[in-house]
Amino acid sequence: MVRTLRISYLQHVFARVIWMDYPTNTLRMPFYLNTQRLALLSVLTALCLGIQLLPRPMNVEFTSLIAFATGMVFGSLYGSSLGVLVMLANGFLSPYGFAGVVLPFQVIGMGLIGLAGGLYRRMTDRATRAGAFAEAAILGAFLTFIYDVLTNVGTAVFFTMSGMAFHEALITALVLGAVPAAVHVTWNTALFGMVTVPLVSAMHRMLAWR
């Protein structure tokens, strides 16, 4: 009986933390009882991992969008967790090879994108209004820029391991990463602007279906 009460209390605390992370969610059923949410999260994670690990043009990715949308629908905790998990797997299994010292910077950057999705949803009560398309595009550009700056810092750290001074390594990393970063920002600006609103709306409809 004591063990059962202890588990129930921990479940209550966990559910309370989730609600505090995303109090505007209209689906107040505790997460651990909602199989629809668990199923959708599992599908999103598997889809994101599958796409991320497939051979593809560099910096043409969907992980940022899915992590951001997950944060909007489930809260920043789950958005950032999905981003961190996918980038950890990507760091070891990517078709481009092991990420090395850049991996922690990739993990932090993608975690921030998922976190931002939850924070953005808490600041707006009408995520499907017309202006949300433009806001999503701007956020996509800004968050991608932050991610690329972080990964360039990681590249600079890698360069310093060969004896290069950090300021020189950082300048070199930023110059070498300028074109890939421009491609990444352009891609995510268009992707966030066109897909975020309909994707989030579709996810909400799936969770509301009975």
What is the chain's pLDDT, residue by residue, as a tens digit (210 residues)?
544 445 455 555 545 554 455 544 444 444 444 788 888 999 999 999 999 988 889 899 999 999 999 999 999 999 999 999 999 999 998 888 888 999 999 999 999 999 999 999 888 765 556 688 999 999 999 999 999 999 999 999 999 999 999 999 999 999 999 999 999 999 999 999 999 999 999 998 888 765
Residue 23 maps to a domain = no
168: CB partners within 8 A, 6+ apart: 159
Could you tell me if residue 20 is inside a domain? no
In this prediction, residue 4 carries a pLDDT of: 47
Residues 6+ apart with CB under 8 A from 121: 22, 24, 71, 72, 73, 75, 127
What is the end-to-end Cα distance of the chain in Å, rounded?
A: 34
Q: Is 201 among the domain residues?
A: yes
In a domain, 94, yes or no: yes
Residue with tokens 């933390």: 17
Give 62's DSSP letter.
S
Task: Give the structural domain span for 41.
Answer: 35-208
What does the chain come to in residues?
210
Residue 72 in any domain: the answer is yes
Q: What is the identity of the amino acid at 2?
A: V
CATH number for the domain spanning 86: value is 1.10.1760.20
- The whole-model pTM stands at 0.82
Residue-level pLDDT at 191: 97
pLDDT attached to residue 96: 82
Whether 28 maps to a domain, the answer reads no
The half-sphere exposure of 90 on its side-chain side, counting CA atoms within 13 A, is 30
CB crowding 83-101: b at 16 or more within 10 Å, else e? bbbbbbebbeebeeeebee
Q: Do the beta carbons of residue 125 and residue 141 sit within 8 Å?
A: no
Number of domains in the chain: 1
Q: What is the 3-state secondary structure (H, E, C) of 184-205?
A: HHHHHHHHHHHHHHHHHHHHHH
pLDDT of residue 132: 87
In a domain, 8, yes or no: no
Both tokens assigned to 178: 């300028």
Both tokens of 185, joined, read 């920002």
Closest CA relative to residue 197, chosen from 73, 100, 38, 77: 73
Find the angle CA(171)-CA(177)-CA(183) to the nearest 5 degrees. 145
**Inside any domain, residue 78:** yes
